[in-house]
Amino acid sequence: MTFRLGLTGSIGMGKSTTAALFAAEGLPVWDADAAVHRLYAAGGAAVAPLGALCPQAIRGGSVSRETLKHHIAADPTLLPAIEAVVHPLVARDRANFLASSPADIAILDIPLLFEKGNEAEMDATLLATAPPALQRARVLARPGMTEAQFALILSRQMPDSDKRARATHIVETLSLDQTAAYVRALIAHIRTNHA
């Protein structure tokens, strides 16, 4: 049975870097955001049902995330209908990934792991975190990111302190070397205790 480690962390906390470090150690990583991109791409399973909900969001046979965001902002009642379509498709994508994984440990990179209650499906969770000043510096260094966008994103995410209280494991992503060492140690810990 594959051990399911749910990886999460707010924007700018080092989650993607941590996921890449697990991949570098040879573990399979499922990425929730990448799954949504596949579902929204031409031929993706979400295109037709989302087209029925919001025809204007379909561009060139795929879902335009920007157009969808614009329509959700104009009509907030659209979001639950979109989530009712997308969430089961994402869950099926994740289940297919796990079913096809021969690895002893699989990493499930889910930005809204705690917000959506997905931790119940995991054997353990890992929170990537960093001090607020470092988080802010990382996010504002991204091309096109503004203080207002950053504030909006943070307002939609569970506070880091709440995530810390719920996580099984926590990694402070202060440096690449330190984070890589933590990842190796956690893999060894899981293999020793859950073999």
pLDDT of 195: 63
pLDDT of 35: 95
User: Is the pLDDT assigned to residue 110 strictly greater than 70?
Assistant: yes
pLDDT of 69: 86
pLDDT of 192: 94
Q: Could you tell me the two tokens for 74? A: 């104009």
Q: Model-level pTM?
A: 0.89
Q: Could you tell me the two tokens for 133? A: 């000043």
Q: Quick one: residue 125, left, alpha or beta (phi over 0 = left, psi -120 to 50 = alpha)?
A: beta
Model pLDDT for residues 65-95, shown as the tens digit of each residue: 889 888 888 888 898 999 999 999 999 999 9
Cite the residue boundaries of each domain of the chain with CATH code 3.40.50.300: 1-27+106-195
The mean pLDDT of the chain is: 93
Q: Could you tell me the two tokens for 64? A: 């335009």
Give CA separation, 14 vs 7, 88, 104, 129, 176, in Å. Answer: 11, 27, 24, 7, 9
Could you tell me what percentage of the chain is helix, strand and coil, using 3-state DSSP and rounding each to the nearest 5? 55, 15, 30
Q: Could you tell me the two tokens for 82? A: 């979109």
User: Is the pLDDT assigned to residue 104 strictly greater than 90?
Assistant: yes
Q: Band the pLDDT of 1: cuts 50, 70, 90.
A: confident
Report the residue count for the chain: 195
Model pLDDT for residues 5-64, shown as the tens digit of each residue: 999 999 999 999 999 999 999 999 999 999 999 999 999 999 999 999 999 999 999 999
Model pLDDT for residues 134-150, shown as the tens digit of each residue: 999 999 999 989 999 89
Q: Which CATH superfamily is domain 1-27+106-195 in?
A: P-loop containing nucleotide triphosphate hydrolases (3.40.50.300)
Residue 8: strand pairing partners: 127
Q: Is 31 exposed, middle or buried (0-12, 13-18, 19+ CB in 10 A)?
A: buried
Give yes or no for a contact between 15 and 128, defined as CB atoms under 8 angstroms apart. yes
Output DSSP code: residue 116: T
- Rounded to an integer, the average pLDDT of 145-168 is 91
Give yes or no for a contact between 114 and 166, defined as CB atoms under 8 angstroms apart. yes
